[in-house]
């Protein structure tokens, strides 16, 4: 399971998308920190499983291996428990090889807690004569680390350079004791190049090291931290990326003895990102307290007050800004409230004025409508008067001509008859008088009326047919003539609606005229009142543009 998790982590950290963005890496780190409870639960579950297996074990060798695994779980997690477990390991150890393993592991635990001289003393008491290379390599490497860390912790002291040189000698011995192609030897060589100031060689070695699939998550975090220090002065962005990756690896491995979060906090303090710096430095302090590493606490407590002071100053600045903006907002809200009240008052006044204007507009519209109606009535009256005058002119001229012809004809007839009477030609006079046919003359008068009417109303028949269904429409009479039914409604169109008058014109009885009108109205698709109004609305030649071009009735 550990190997699978390690492989996934390495692949994840090497993807271009992961490495290309500092912000995305910080997001991964923050999510890893949020997932600390779940990660710790997994670690505690592994420890519980080991303890259960140890409780069931009845074999000393198996017990030694289980305690060894428990110690490895605790050695970068909690100093007190790791030290107790390593003491129990030394009690279980029976062979010289096992005693040597337990002693080296105890030195590592002491070294991790900052007890450098105690770690050196512990290692110096061990004898590695005849031990395998793997044990010799770990022995010399822990001595080298102890001297290097001691030199770093007491920089400036007289024996500082001697401790550094001792560290290099033991590191060379560790390299000689490891296989040429192992990840362990590559790590030792990279550290040697780093300590000797061979930065490019060290970068190359560490880069090769982090690409190996057999490196542990904890070791990966250490190598990332080393790479971060190598790039710090030449490529700050790459240095930050490696440092974030180191912190992520520490979180994934539940490492409490680490410098990655502390270094990140110092970096963001320099970048004036005080909130993030404060969060990371407090997490680092919590880890140091949990592990029990006094030297880490001292390093953190050196930076913590500076970071917290700046964070508090930032908080105070934010508070001052908050107070200022709150006061400004309150003033703006008060001003807005006053403006709203004033606007509402003005709105009510405007609404009142609008209602008054709308009422006045409504009155004006009503007056305008009344004026338009009156004007329309005047136009209708003018149209009717114009039409009446035109009809009068037409019919007066026509009847003057007809009456003149009739009078001249009667005058000539009676003059001839009177002359014959004077001459004693009574038979001839009677014959002449008998030549006058009043029915014929009346028929001629009606024919003249029809012709004159169709001249004024050329589309009369087409228009009146619109008031009837297709099957009940009038057939077209001969040119310039009207049937009796059509003539009755032609007279009505001219305003002659009295049945007695219409009856005298046609020499019919009043009942006959009434019967004609009733029969025609009943055939119409309109009601009686609508039919009468429609008859009066039939247009003359003067107001019917289509009739000016001629019609079948003319």
SS (H, E, C) 364-398: HHHHHHHHHHHHHHHHHHHHHHHHHHHHHHHHHHH
Helices 426-434 and 294-422, axial angle in degrees (round to 10): 170
pLDDT above 70 covers a percentage of the chain that reads 84
What kind and span of H or E run contains 105? helix 96-112
Q: How far apart, in whole angstroms, are the C-alpha atoms of residue 342 and residue 173? A: 90
pLDDT tens, position by position, 81-119: 999 999 999 999 988 889 999 999 999 999 998 898 999
What pLDDT digit, counting tens, does each position of 24-73 carry?
999 999 999 999 999 999 999 999 999 999 999 889 999 999 999 999 99
Sign of CA dihedral 322, 328, 334, 335: negative
Comparing 32-36, 322-326, 465-469, the range with the smallest average pLDDT is: 322-326
**What is the spatial distance between Cα 135 and Cα 96, in angstroms, rounded to a whole number?**
12
Q: What is the pLDDT of residue 172?
A: 93
Per-residue pLDDT tens over the stretch 385-426: 566 556 555 555 565 566 666 666 666 767 777 777 777 777
Specify the pLDDT at position 387: 60
Sign of the C-alpha dihedral computed for residues 491, 492, 497 and 498 taken in this order:
positive
Residue 488: is its pLDDT beyond 60?
yes
| Per-residue model confidence (pLDDT) at position 242 | 94
Residue found by looking up tokens 């508090």 in the block: 312
The pLDDT, as a whole number, for residue 68 is 93
Residue 13's pLDDT is what?
A: 46
Among 56-60, 226-230, 339-343, 514-518, the range of highest mean pLDDT: 226-230
pLDDT band (50, 70, 90) for residue 432: low
The model's pLDDT over 276-313, given as tens digits with 9 standing for 90+, comes to 988 998 998 888 898 887 878 787 877 777 777 777 77
Distance (Å, whole) CA 18 – CA 390: 102
Q: Report d(CA 353, CA 184) in Å as an integer.
A: 93
Q: What is the pLDDT of residue 16?
A: 41
**Arithmetic mean of pLDDT, 195-214:** 92
Q: What integer pLDDT is reported at residue 537 of this predicted model?
A: 84
Given a contact cutoff of 8 angstroms between Cβ atoms, the answer to whether 252 and 289 are in contact is: no
Determine the pLDDT at residue 8: 43
Quote the CA–CA distance of 115 and 107 in Å, as a whole number.
Answer: 9
Nearest-CA neighbor of 220 among 240, 245, 189, 194?
245
Q: Tell me, what's the pLDDT at 357? A: 84
Taken in order 198, 201, 207, 213, is the CA torsion positive or negative?
A: negative
The residue written with tokens 């219409």 in the block is 502
- Measured distance CA(340)–CA(328) in Å, rounded: 18
Averaged pLDDT, 497-509: 85
Given this model, what pLDDT does residue 12 score?
43
pLDDT attached to residue 435: 64
Q: How many CB atoms lie within 10 A of CB 37?
A: 8
* pTM of the predicted protein model: 0.56
pLDDT at 552 over 60: no
Model confidence band, residue 4 (pLDDT cutoffs 50, 70, 90): very low
Virtual torsion, Cα 295, 298, 304, 305, nearest 10 deg: 180
At 439, the pLDDT band (50, 70, 90 cuts) reads confident
Q: How many CB atoms lie within 10 A of CB 491?
A: 20
Per-residue pLDDT, 380: 63
Instruction: Report the pLDDT value the prediction gives residue 125, as an integer from 0 to 100.
Output: 92
Residue 428 has a CB neighbour count (10 Å cut-off) of 15
């Amino acid at each position: 399971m550990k190997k699978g998790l390690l492989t996934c982590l390495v692949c994840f950290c090497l993807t271009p998308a992961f490495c290309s963005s500092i912000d995305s890496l910080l997001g991964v780190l923050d999510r890893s920190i949020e997932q600390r409870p779940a990660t710790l639960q997994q670690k505690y579950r592994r420890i519980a499983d080991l303890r259960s297996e140890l409780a069931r074990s009845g074999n000393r060798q198996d017990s030694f291996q289980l305690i060894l695994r428990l110690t490895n779980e605790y050695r970068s997690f909690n100093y007190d428990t790791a030290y107790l477990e390593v003491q129990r390991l030394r009690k279980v150890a029976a062979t010289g090889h096992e005693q040597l393993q337990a002693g080296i592991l105890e030195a590592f635990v002491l070294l991790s807690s900052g007890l450098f001289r105690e770690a050196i003393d512990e290692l110096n008491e061990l004898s590695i004569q005849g031990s395998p290379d793997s044990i010799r390599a770990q022995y010399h490497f822990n001595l080298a680390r102890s001297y290097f860390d001691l030199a770093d912790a007491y920089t400036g002291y007289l024996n500082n350079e001697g401790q550094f040189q001792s560290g290099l000698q033991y590191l060379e011995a560790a390299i000689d004791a490891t296989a040429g192609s192992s990840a362990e030897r590559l790590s030792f060589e990279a550290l040697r190049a780093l300590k000797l100031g061979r930065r490019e060689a060290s970068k190359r070695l560490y880069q090769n090291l982090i690409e190996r699939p057999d490196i542990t998550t904890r070791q990966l975090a250490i190598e990332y931290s080393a790479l971060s220090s190598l790039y710090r002065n030449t490529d700050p962005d790459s240095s930050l990326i490696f440092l974030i990756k180191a912190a992520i690896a520490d979180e994934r491995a539940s490492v409490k003895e680490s410098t990655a979060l502390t270094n990140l906090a110092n970096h963001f303090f320099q970048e004036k990102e005080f909130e993030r710096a404060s969060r990371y430095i407090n997490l680092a302090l919590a880890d140091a307290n949990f592990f029990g590493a006094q030297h880490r606490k001292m390093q953190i407590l050196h930076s913590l007050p500076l970071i917290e002071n700046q964070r508090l100053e930032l908080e105070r600045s934010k508070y001052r800004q908050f107070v200022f903006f709150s006061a400004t907002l309150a003033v703006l809200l008060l001003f807005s409230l006053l403006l709203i009240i004033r606007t509402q008052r003005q709105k009510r006044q405007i609404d009142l004025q609008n209602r008054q204007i709308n009422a006045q507009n409504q009155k004006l519209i009503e007056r305008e409508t009344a004026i338009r109606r009156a004007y329309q009535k005047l136009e209708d009256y003018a149209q009717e008067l114009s039409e009446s005058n035109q009809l009068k002119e037409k019919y007066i001229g026509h009847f003057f001509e007809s009456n003149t012809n009739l009078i001249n004809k009667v005058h000539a007839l009676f003059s001839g008859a009177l002359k014959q009477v004077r001459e004693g030609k009574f038979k001839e006079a009677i014959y002449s008088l008998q030549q006058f046919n009043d029915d014929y003359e009346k028929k001629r008068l009606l024919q003249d009326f029809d012709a004159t009417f169709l001249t004024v109303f050329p589309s009369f028949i087409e228009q009146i047919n619109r008031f009837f269904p297709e099957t009940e429409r009038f057939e077209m009479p001969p040119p310039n003539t009207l049937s009796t039914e059509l003539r009755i409604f032609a007279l009505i169109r001219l305003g002659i609606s009295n049945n007695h008058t219409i009856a005298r014109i046609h020499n019919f009885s009043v009942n006959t005229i009434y019967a004609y009108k009733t029969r025609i109205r009943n055939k119409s698709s309109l009601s009686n009142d609508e039919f009468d109004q429609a008859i009066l609305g039939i247009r003359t030649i003067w107001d019917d543009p289509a009739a000016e071009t001629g019609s079948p009735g003319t």
